Every structure is written in C-alpha cells, then in structure tokens.
Amino acid sequence: MDGSPWGMVGRNIREIEGRIAQAAVSCGRRPGDVALLGVSKTFPREAVAEAMRAGLRRFGENRVQEAEGKAPAFPPPGKPEWHLIGHLQSNKARRAVELFDVIQSVDSLKLATRISQAAEDAGKVVTVLLQADLAGEATKFGAPPEEVRAILDAAADLRGVRIDGLMLIPPYLEDPEGVRPYFRRLRELGEALEAERPGCLGRRHLSMGMSHDFEAAVREGATIVRVGTAIFGTR
C-alpha cells in the first residue's frame, strides 16, 4: 500500500481493460477498437493523475464548471483528452469549446449551432457526438431520431463541428441485459443514418455503456465506454 486513497485506480483500470478485451474478442471485435473513458466527475485531480499514471488518456466530466477546476491542472505535453458527457446549456457553449476536446452531449440543432459558432470564433473545429434519445420521455436529455437527422441535415453549415458518432444514456436498469436492446438500437440508428447519408457520422463512434453494463455495450458495438465508479469508487 502506498497510502494514497487512489492506490487502487491503476488495478481497476487494468481489470476493466481486460474485461473490455474479453467482451470484444467474444464477439469477433478487436480490443483496440474500444476506448475506455474514465469518468472523473466528483473526483479530484489527484484521482485523474493516478489514472494517467496507469496510462489512461481520456476523461469525461458532466459539468463545465467542474472541468474548469480540473482540466487546466494537466497542461500539454501529456494533456489528456477531455470529453463533456453531461447536458450543456447553450449559454455555456463558448466555455465548453475552450475546455473540451469532444462534446458528446449534443442533443439539439440549436446547441450544435451554438457550439459550431463558438468553435469558429475560437478558430477551431470541435469533435462532437450526437446524444440520441431512444426511450421517449424516459430519459431527460437526448435528441429523438428526427432531431438527430435535423442536425445531420444542417451539418454542412456547421463548420466548427466535426460530427463523429452517437452517444446514448439509456434508462437506468439494474440488469445489464435489460439495457442491451437500447445499445442495439443505437447501433442500428447509426447504421440507418449511414445508409441514408454515407459518411455523415465520421468515425462512427458509439459511446455507450457504464460501470455496470459496459460489457453488454461492447458486445453491441460500443467504441467508447464511459466508466466512473468501477475505476474511482462510489461517488
């Protein structure tokens, strides 16, 4: 024991990477095609530093304000990639564009437009994922498929964003197998959109799966799994 409260983080990461690899291989996928995003919300920068020592290079935060207190502690070189995974209000788009490398929670054309404008003003192009709502009113945020299509239709005008795939927060269910149909539907939505508009989803990321269900998500095609509790402990 080294006395640090984050001593277990490296071990947890290796265990999760092993489980991701097994789940991938079990369905004929390559382990390297699934990225592990460490969800560091509510955990201090020391926890992030420990995860970086274990080789993790991508972190997710769900609030702009919390990231403001954490991301600047890790300047280049060796700066990790920061992903926004929580709901973003349009009036915080500018700050989000400065802080985050990827905004996964784009769920309206209005928000996509604001992010694009802010990115253009800052002279950059920000990578975004479109957060889909596949459960109707059961989830609070996320774009219904029609809104996802509206954003894709406007993509040519959104010069400050690069649309790189889809993200899903399914309704919470204890049993990972119960969530699996939602994972499958996100993959199928991606396939349908790509068939209608080839290339519209860029690298075709599917961000889905959390601590209790990431293996099911990998079996349904996840390319990014967002894991907090299983790495850092309970919040």
Q: At what angle do helices 9-26 and 45-53 cross, to 10 degrees?
A: 60
* Stretch near ligand PLP under the rule CB under 6 A, chosen from 50-58, 72-80, 198-206, 224-232: 224-232
Give the C-alpha separation, 28 to 23, whole Å: 9
**Shortest distance in whole angstroms from residue 87 CB to ligand PLP:** 9
- Count the neighbouring beta carbons within 10 Å of the beta carbon of residue 146: 7
Torsion sign over Cα 99, 102, 108, 111:
positive
Strand partners, 107: none
CA distances from 169 to 52, 106, 179, 208 (A): 25, 12, 10, 7
Looking at 29, 83, 205, 226, which residue binds ligand PLP (CB under 6 A)?
226
Structural tokens at position 216: 């099911």
Strand partners, 126: 161
Looking at 24, 48, 85, 201, which residue binds ligand PLP (CB under 6 A)?
85
Looking at 9, 23, 36, 39, which residue binds ligand PLP (CB under 6 A)?
39
Asked if 129 is part of the footprint of ligand PLP (rule: CB under 6 A), the reply reads: no
Give the C-alpha separation, 38 to 51, whole Å: 8
Structural tokens at position 179: 């969530």
Asked if 65 is part of the footprint of ligand PLP (rule: CB under 6 A), the reply reads: no
Per-residue contact flags (x/-) with ligand PLP for residues 95 to 124, judged by CB under 6 A: ------------------------------
Looking at 4, 22, 65, 229, which residue binds ligand PLP (CB under 6 A)?
229
Looking at 87, 150, 211, 233, which residue binds ligand PLP (CB under 6 A)?
211
Between 152 and 210, name the residue whose CB sits nearer to ligand PLP: 210
* Stretch near ligand PLP under the rule CB under 6 A, chosen from 24-32, 48-56, 152-160, 222-230: 222-230
Asked if 20 is part of the footprint of ligand PLP (rule: CB under 6 A), the reply reads: no
* Stretch near ligand PLP under the rule CB under 6 A, chosen from 94-102, 157-165, 198-206, 225-233: 225-233
**Residue 186 backbone dihedrals phi, psi, to 5 degrees:** -65, -45
- Count the neighbouring beta carbons within 10 Å of the beta carbon of residue 71: 21
Q: Residue holding tokens 């024991």?
A: 1
Q: Which residues bind ligand PLP (CB under 6 A)?
A: 39, 41, 62, 85-86, 169, 210-211, 226-230
